[in-house]
Every structure is written in C-alpha cells, then in structure tokens.
Amino acid sequence: MEDRQRAILIKSASLFPPPLGVKFSYGTAGFRAESSILSSTVFRSGILAAMRSLKTGSLIGLMITASHNHVSDNGVKIADFHGGMMTQDWEPFANDLANASNSKDLIELIADFAKKENIPFGGSQSGEVLLGRDTRPSGEALMEAAKQGVRSVIDVVATDMGILTTPQLHWMVQNRNRGLRVTEFDYFSQISNSFRNLMELIPRGTSPEPFDAKLLVDGANGVGGEKLEGLKKLLKDLDIHVRNTGKEGEGNLNERVGADYVQKERVVPLGFGPNDVGLRCASLDGDADRLVYFLFPSEGSKSIDLIDGDKILSLLALFINEQLRILDNKEKMGTSEYDYPVKLGIVQTAYANGASTDYLKELGMEVVFTPTGVKYLHEKAAEYDIGIYFEANGHGTILFSEKFLKWLEAKIQDLAAGSEMQKAAQRLLAASNLINQATGDSLSGLILVEVVLRYMGWSIQRWKSLYQDLPSRQVKVKVVDRTAVVTTNAETSVLRPLGLQEAINLEVAKYSRGRAFVRPSGTEDVVRVYAEASTQQEVDALAQTVAEHVGRFLG
C-alpha cells in the first residue's frame, strides 16, 4: 500500500473511532445495531465496498437500513457486483474490519487483505459504489460516514442514490453492471411495463370468480409505502390504497405495523379496522424486501388469516408451472429444437410449513431444501432454469437463467402469432422482467401476485384455501454454547451432540404428521426448536419435549 493511501485512511479513520466493548458480526442482514454506535462500522463498510469494487472491477452497492428492526436501530450491508449479497468469502474480513480496535490495526488489516487479494490500490483500476438508505432519521449521518469510507480509497467514487428500498439498490447494482440505465424511474418503468404486458395476456372471460381490484397495503411507515405511492400512479388497472406510509402522524417505522409484525404476531396492523373485513390486504416490511398478505376475517376480531411466503411461493409456482405445461405441447411443437428440458426448482428451508411442501410435491414439482438464510436459497435457486424461493417471512423471488431467457425469446419469434403457446412464452418473459432478479422485492412481488390472482380469477379467500397449514410452534432454548449443536441435511438433522437426533426422532414418531428440528442461532446463545403436528395441542407438546431434550443434552 502506498504511503499516500495509508495516510488518507489513517486520517479518515480517526474521525470514526469504534465503540468500546462492542463486537459486530456480518450476517445475512449485514451489520445491525443501535444507530448511535454504528458510524465507525458504516465508515469501514464504505472501505470494504470500495475494495470490493477494485477487486471485481465492477460497481458495488452499499445500503444503510435495519429492515424490520425498531426505528432506533440501523445497519449496513453490501450488494455484490451481480446484485445479490456479498460473497461469503469476504464476511470474515468484514468482521475483522468492523472490530479492529484502533486505526493502526485497521490499516494493517486492510494492507494485508489487499495484498492477499491482489487489490490494486492506487493503480490503473478505478471503482464506484452506489449508496442508498431508508427513511430512518439516523440514515443521513450514517450516509456521510459511508461516503467518507468509500472516498478514503483512492480512485473509488461514491454515488449517493438517496432514499431507496433495499431491493431498488440491489436492482440498480445488477443492471448498471449490465450496462443499463438505473434511475428510480427506470425501475418503476420496468415494473409497470411488464405489468401491462401481463395484463394484456390474461385470457378474457374465463375467470370463474369476480375479481376485486381493491388492494389495501400496509407500508410499515417505511420507505416501501412511500415508493409504492409513486409506483401505483403507473398501474391504472390496480386500485391500491397505501396506509402507514410514514407521513407525519401515521405512526413509527415498524411499530405494530409491517410484514414482520403481521407474520409473527398474526394480528391486524395499526391503520386497519372493521371496515376492511373481507378485503385483500398486504403488508411490506421497513425496507420493502418482504411481503405477506392477510385477510381481516370478521368485525371485532384482532387476529388475521395470514397468507405468508409459503402461500406466495405456491401461487407463483402454480402460475409458472402452468405456462411451462402450455409450452410443453410436443404435438404442436413438432421440431426437436423446441424440446428444451426446462428445469423448474422450488427452494425452501426447513421452516417452510410442511403442508406447503406436500402441496407442491403432490403437483409434481421438484422441492429442495437449503439451510436457513437468503444467501443459501438464492444460490440454490440460481442452479435451475427457473428457481423459485420464498421464506415464510415473505422474502423471496423467482430467478430465470440467461440460457432459458434466450431460448424463450427465440421461441416467441418462432411460434404462431397469438397462439396459446406464444402467449405462455410471453407471460414467462414478462414475469422475468417484472420480478426482481437480484433479491426479494416486496414491490415487484406485490405487482406480480396481483397479476397472477387476476389471471387465476381468484379472490384472496380462494388463494388462502390452497392448503391448510399444519399447526407449528417455535421455541428458543438458552444454552451456554450454541456451537455445541452441529446440524446436517439443510439443518434438519443433528450430528452433535450424539444421541440428540435419536431422542427427537422418538418424540416425532408419537404424533400424526409430526416433524421437528433444532438449529443453533446465528446471533445469540440459544438453540431454536421448530415443531409441526396435526393439532396445536400436539405441536405444543412436541416442541416442549424437544426443547427439554436440548436442555438435557446441552445442560
């Protein structure tokens, strides 16, 4: 590292001393903490993003958000050159960077890593980092810390994109690196144009049920509600009413509102009441990367009928599978050049409700499991021509391979104009343009769900009845050392401690449709227990006995 670069880093780092006695860890959500102790970590994340840009020779993204956390929290995470999450290989360096106790150690750490990774500080390579933030009051000051971090690396530019949803930033990074324009208007235009294309491809007069265009959306008093207000102006065929937009007097970010609150508590969010009984409702989270739907069943009820990520996945999988079925008409295809063996994969974690997995498998779809975490789901989904993943919390998307999309574009040209097969191919292409290919996106996901419901002619009540969720229960068991639990088979089986999995198996065998697994938390010294069974009474008993076994083996 040149002396000039070292001097700039030392001077900049001195402005952002790390908090005492705090250890940061970069995970699926990046770094998160109470906002008042984050300036040093965000500054150093700016350096990290700049180094990643120099290493890859591509644009990198940095987002300041704490998603569904309380408004007093904030966080920062990196969007890699492909638009997805930062490579796991760099996570240990991110942790070391955030936790370096002084400027000297920080600079030596940077110098050593740059040498190891052959990062061209001050060379011919230049870089750029796109920065975005959500609507949290702490975001503006933390944005300045991030900019200083990026700019402290010679020849790297920091470009402030302002207030964005997290998925918007990921989309911008992915598409800029493909040579495309990436203003917010471009993002809105891609969604609205794809929406119109799909609407025009809906068969007329075939809907078995009348469709109510009215949709109520809980914006979590965050950035998603604000952006949806702008997007909906371009969507003339949808009657979207946004509540909890974050305007003054509407409430606090994520406080008794938002997808995380609705999905976990299963109660009506603030801003909704008796007049909304029976209407189709949706909820975004604080940075708009999660989406759930819900139904307010009856006046006076505080609980809701939840349509979570599992049911969103099932709906979209049905739609995609139907288009593939139409395309697979070999009698009409004739020539072998059309016989493309499309691989459709459904990717879930062990937390997916077993009823959803059974439903998808009964339809003949390939369902695979990964460990918990979006980075695992996304990576696995990318192995298919079309990979669909959604967590129960509402975070997910559909990935279309470049090879499949090129084949699809050629097929559209070859098929008879206006034929059902051509329309099916056009629907798949439009869906690939509508849904965010970089990460889970509640805005693009919401619009795709609305089109698919219109295509199916389904009410929210019909959608809710696709299958009946199995009762489930989650329990946390405090332990001294969570690393004593080692799992395998996508976290569904315990390797260590020896004997624990056998004990779990014996408990599960006692119940109809029983299922249970345990996994160590990634952030705290607890072991998480998940259980399912045919009745709530049975699942409560199963979860309790499994938790007792965990305590006994790790006590």
CATH topology of domain 310-464: Alpha-D-Glucose-1,6-Bisphosphate; Chain A, domain 3 (3.40.120)
What pTM does this model have? 0.94
Residue 331 has pLDDT above 60, yes or no: no
Q: What is the spatial distance between Cα 460 and Cα 278, in angstroms, rounded to a whole number?
A: 9
**Where does residue 274 rank: exposed (0-12), middle (13-18), buried (19+ CB within 10 A)?**
exposed
On the question of pLDDT at 409 being above 50, the answer is yes
The pLDDT, as a whole number, for residue 54 is 97
Q: Is 127 left (phi over 0), alpha (psi -120 to 50) or beta?
A: beta
Least Cα distance to 316 among 390, 209, 216 occurs for 390
Q: How confident is the model at residue 120 (pLDDT cuts 50, 70, 90)?
A: confident
Q: What are phi and psi of 433, to 5 degrees?
A: -80, -25
Average pLDDT of 456-481? 94
Tell me what pLDDT residue 48 has. Answer: 98
Question: Are the C-beta atoms of 459 and 211 separated by less than 8 Å?
Answer: yes
Annotated binding site: 67, 285, 287, 289, 391-393, 519-523, 528
- Render pLDDT for 508-537 as a digit per residue (tens, 0 to 9): 999 999 999 999 987 778 999 999 999 999
Across the chain, mean pLDDT equals 94
Of 25, 179, 17, 2, whose CA–CA distance to 94 is shortest? Answer: 25
Can you identify the CATH homologous superfamily of domain 214-306?
Alpha-D-Glucose-1,6-Bisphosphate, subunit A, domain 3 (3.40.120.10)
- 300: pLDDT confidence band, cut at 50, 70 and 90? confident
Q: Where in the chain is the domain with CATH 3.30.310.50?
A: 472-554
pLDDT at 544 (0 to 100): 97
pLDDT tens for 80-113 read: 999 999 999 999 999 999 999 999 999 999 999 9
Residues 542, 514 contacting (CB under 8 angstroms): yes
Evaluate if residue 324 carries a pLDDT over 80. Answer: yes
| Per-residue H/E/C for 293-316 | EEECCCCCCCECEEECHHHHHHHH
- What is the reported pLDDT for 339? 61
pLDDT tier, 338 (very low <50, low <70, confident <90, very high otherwise): very low
Among residues 383, 380, 433, 378, the alpha carbon closest in space to that of 201 is found at 433
Average pLDDT over residues 340-368: 96
Catalytic residue among 12, 40, 53, 67: 67
pLDDT above 60 (res 135):
yes
Instruction: Note the pLDDT of residue 204.
Output: 81
Nearest to 398 by CA among 417, 416, 384, 414: 384
pLDDT at 29: 85
Assign domain 472-554 one CATH number from 1.10.10.10, 3.40.50.720, 3.30.310.50, 3.10.450.50.
Answer: 3.30.310.50
Does 123 have pLDDT greater than 60?
A: yes
Question: Is the pLDDT score of 208 beyond 70?
Answer: no
Determine the average pLDDT of the residues in 215-231. Answer: 97
pLDDT 10s digits, 6-63:
999 999 999 999 999 999 999 888 999 999 999 999 999 999 999 999 999 999 999 9
Q: Would you say residue 333 has pLDDT above 70? A: no
What is the pLDDT, as a whole number, of residue 316? 98
pLDDT tens figures, 251-281: 999 999 999 999 999 999 999 988 999 999 9
**What is the per-residue pLDDT for 247?**
86
**Residue 486 has what pLDDT?**
96
Band of pLDDT at residue 1, cut at 50, 70 and 90: confident
Which residues are 156's β-sheet partners?
Answer: 127
pLDDT reading at 340 higher than 90: no
pLDDT digits (tens, 9 = 90+) for 434-456: 999 999 999 999 999 999 999 99
Question: Which two structure tokens, joined as six digits, stand for 52?
Answer: 């990643």
Answer whether residue 207 shows pLDDT above 80.
no
Quick one: pLDDT at residue 329? 66
pLDDT of 301 higher than 80: no
- Residue range 342-347: average pLDDT? 97
Question: What is the pLDDT confidence band of residue 206, given thresholds at 50, 70 and 90?
Answer: low
Domain 3-179 belongs in CATH node 3.40.120.10:
yes
Query: Which residue ranges make up the annotated binding site for substrate?
Result: 391-393, 519-523, 528
Numbered residues of the known binding site for Mg(2+): 67, 285, 287, 289
Q: Over pLDDT 70: what percentage of the chain?
A: 97
Helices of type H across 392-470: 402-414, 420-434, 442-456, 460-464
Residue ranges matching CATH 3.40.120.10 in the chain: 3-179, 214-306, 310-464
14 tagged catalytic: no
